[in-house]
Amino acid sequence: MMTLLANTPLVVAICAIVFAQGLKVPIYFIVTRKWDFSLLTSTGGMPSSHSAAVTSLATAISFETSLDSPIFAVATMFALIVMYDASGVRLEAGKHATLLNELRKDFDLLTKNIADWPKLDEQEKRQELKTLLGHKRSEVVTGALAGIALTINIYLTI
């Protein structure tokens, strides 16, 4: 266990996730004037903790092994794929979930208006799909910059 804690790139990447997740609450408050501490454990939103984690990991690996190492190349490609996925596929999945939730609500309203339609009991009602899955590009970039900055700061102080 102690060896795992001595793995600085891993520890820094985990710190970057916690840092980015922690930033979500005050950023949301600045924008909406409402506190929402559920953002500490949610996906999506500003900044992207996924981007912070993978860029932090790649940056830490660059400090440990150098920019021309194969492991840095792997970490960088991993980071680029994760960030592309966060701003592309996952964002679109969230949009689809929003539309499906709206369709379900419309369907539920329709069934309430049809007298012959059998009533659904509480167990049969479907849970809404999670819509905050992906990130806007600005959220990805902000998360990436937060991860890089945090890592550089940690490595320059240790």
Give the tens place of pLDDT for each residue, 14-33. 999 999 999 999 999 999 99
Tokens read off for 137: 């590009």
Q: Which residue in 33, 34, 52 sits closest to 43, CA to CA?
A: 52
Is the model's pLDDT at 34 over the cut of 80? yes
* Cβ(140)–Cβ(53) below 8 Å: no
Return the pLDDT at 26. 93
Tokens read off for 64: 């440990």
* Cβ(64)–Cβ(151) below 8 Å: no
Give the tens place of pLDDT for each residue, 73-121. 999 999 999 888 877 776 677 677 777 777 787 777 766 666 555 555 5
pTM of model > 0.75:
no
Q: Which residue in 48, 37, 63 sits closest to 146, CA to CA?
A: 48
* Cβ(10)–Cβ(141) below 8 Å: no
* Cβ(42)–Cβ(131) below 8 Å: no
Of 91 and 11, the structure prediction assigns the larger pLDDT to 11
Give the tens place of pLDDT for each residue, 134-148. 677 888 888 889 999
Domain ranges across the chain: 2-88+134-157
Is the model's pLDDT at 10 over the cut of 70? yes
Q: How far apart are CA 144 and CA 87, in angstroms?
A: 12
* Number of CB atoms found within 10 A of residue 125's CB: 10
Give the tens place of pLDDT for each residue, 37-71. 988 888 777 888 999 999 999 999 999 999 999 99
Tokens read off for 22: 């922690």
Task: For residue 33, give the amino acid letter.
Answer: R
Identify the burial level of 53 via C-beta atoms within 10 angstroms of its C-beta, where 0-12 means exposed, 13-18 middle and 19 or more buried.
buried
